[in-house]
Amino acid sequence: MIDADGFSYRDGMLHCGTISLTEIAARVGTPTYVYNLDSVVQRYREHVTAFEGLRHHACFAVKANSSLPLLQMLARHGAGFDVNSRGELHRVLRAGADPARMTMTGVGKSHADITDGLDAGVALFNAESASECRLISDIAAEKQMTADVLLRLNPDVGTDTHPHISTGESSHKFGMTAGDIRSLAAQSAWLPGVRIRGLSFHLGSQIFSPEPYREALLLLITTLDDICGTLDIPDPVIDIGGGFGVAYNDEEQTLDLGLIAESIRSLLGSRAANFTILTEPGRSLVANAGVLVTAVEHEKPARDRIFLILDAGMNDLLRPALYAAQHDIVPLREPEGGQTTVFYDVVGPVCESADTFARRYPLPQLRRGDLVALLSAGAYGTSMSSTYNSRPLAAEVLVHGNAWMIGRERQQMEDLFRGEHLLTEPEAPRD
Ligand code: LLP
């Protein structure tokens, strides 16, 4: 996965474009996430190009990577955003994004989420239940506003992704059945604060086949045609979510978005021009644009294996522990021919055996202080990180052209206790 998104060895050291990752580590410390903004922009452009000919807008799924300068860069290139909470909304607003190009999704939107979304002028709410539609309507009506809403369809379509990140089956909490959508549309006169603008779905993440999209689209279009019988929807919107599979290693093959665009064209036929198509790509724009630079703390031989203990742990990059995800690992110093290969169990310092990045992973012999990069860490890396074991959040660096900047400072010790209180009553006397 090196090369494709701007990471490559130059003069024997791993670089992001022209910037040495070793130099970044020397200045900022480790663990540090490094994102290549040029690659993010390129992926965004490719995404938009794949849907050319359709009236299409891409709304980047902020949950995949919520680094402010990265969001800013996407906004500057015309991207819209899909926000899943008021926190994500305020982040993208801070990054200068246009609310008129935003969708707000989420299966449990709170009163505060909806209120902030309406106040900011978010273009569309993806509503996931009748209860939520009522809440949106009530809040909007009270403000004498009308909220534009897409109803999220649960198409009961399976995908062959990890069960934790599959979302389009009837056993999942997301969306509504076609039947529920039809009855909700029929009763929408009781929702004075809501204007139904179309339908949406999101099938899951890391999907490599266009087939589930086609199947879900078929049901979405039929359902939309049904509700158009009862409602007047002059400029209908179809939102197909995200989930577009990304290759994390040389065996996987990135999903061809052209095939999905083709399904949309063929299923809508001559009516295609009447529809606005939204996509919510997350991972596909950022996964391979980011790496996590980390240092070796210890090399620890055990009975039947050798552990390589890094200074990054599952709190920094949760995906291997949560989804058994595999991220390639490369040393920052390019391996020389003839060096012996050691098969390491690569682990973090957190007190859990799940804190394991790879088992029996071939690397050159490494020592304390040597640097390695965990690749394809740009999606759901920092955005899912935590301070578990009271470990400060990692720093984030962004590379753009021949320059780099710190997007987020490493957390300091005092940041870990901010907002916490100690006991205030005097210590009780001990007997
Ligand atoms: N739209 C909605 C409504 C979503 O729930 C998601 C992701 C996306 C768009 C973007 O999906 P993407 O294009 O990134 O696949 N933490 C997991 C992935 C969880 C995805 C949650 N929803 C991981 O690290 O693999």
Give tens-digit pLDDT for 26-67: 999 999 999 999 999 999 999 999 999 999 999 999 999 999
Residue 224's SS3 state is: helix
* Candidate list 16, 59, 228, 351, residue with the active-site label: 351
Based on the structure, what is the number of domains in the chain? 2
Question: How far does residue 337's CA lie from ligand 1's centre (Å)?
Answer: 40
Assess if residue 270 is contained within a domain: yes
The answer to whether residues 140 and 193 touch, using CB atoms and an 8 Å cutoff, is: yes
Instruction: Select from 223, 254, 281 the last residue of a domain.
Output: 281
- Cβ–ligand 1 contact at 356 (below 6 Å): no
Q: Specify the pLDDT at position 197.
A: 97
Active site residue 351: yes
Q: Specify the pLDDT at position 2.
A: 60
- Percent with pLDDT over 70 in the chain: 99
- Cβ–ligand 1 contact at 242 (below 6 Å): yes
Asked if the model's pLDDT at residue 98 lies above 90, the reply is yes
Assess if residue 1 is contained within a domain: no
Q: Specify the pLDDT at position 158.
A: 86
- Cβ–ligand 1 contact at 283 (below 6 Å): yes
302 and 211, same domain (yes or no): no
243 and 320, same domain (yes or no): no
Assess if residue 186 is contained within a domain: yes
- Report pLDDT digits (tens) over 340-357: 999 999 999 999 999 999
109 and 218, same domain (yes or no): yes
- Cβ–ligand 1 contact at 319 (below 6 Å): yes
Mutate to test the pocket of ligand 1, among 57, 205, 316, 323 (most ligand atoms within 8 A of CB): 205
Question: How far does residue 181's CA lie from ligand 1's centre (Å)?
Answer: 23
201 and 342, same domain (yes or no): no
Instruction: Select from 281, 316, 335 the last residue of a domain.
Output: 281
Q: Provide mean pLDDT across the span 285-311.
A: 98
Output the average pLDDT for the chain.
Answer: 96
**Strands, E, within 88-171: which ranges?**
102-104, 124-127, 147-152
Q: Tokens 């089956």 appear where?
A: 169
Asked if the model's pLDDT at residue 1 lies above 60, the reply is no
**Residue of minimum CA distance from atom 5 in ligand 1:** 202
Residue 131's SS3 state is: helix
CA distance 88 to 59: 13
Q: Provide mean pLDDT across the span 79-86.
A: 98
Crossing angle for the helix pair 86-94 and 111-120, nearest 10 degrees? Answer: 30
Which atom, in ligand 1's list, is nearest to the CA of 380?
24
Mutate to test the pocket of ligand 1, among 47, 62, 63, 65 (most ligand atoms within 8 A of CB): 63
Neighbouring C-beta atoms of residue 337, cutoff 10 Å? 4
Give the residue numbers spanning the domain of 137: 105-281
Q: Specify the pLDDT at position 425.
A: 84
Integer angstrom CA distances of residue 286 from 36, 134, 282, 389: 9, 35, 7, 27
- Cβ–ligand 1 contact at 244 (below 6 Å): yes
The answer to whether residues 377 and 291 touch, using CB atoms and an 8 Å cutoff, is: yes
**Residue of minimum CA distance from atom 16 in ligand 1:** 380
Neighbouring C-beta atoms of residue 226, cutoff 10 Å? 16
325 and 241, same domain (yes or no): no
Instruction: Select from 281, 306, 327 the last residue of a domain.
Output: 281
For position 353, which CATH number holds? Answer: 2.40.37.10
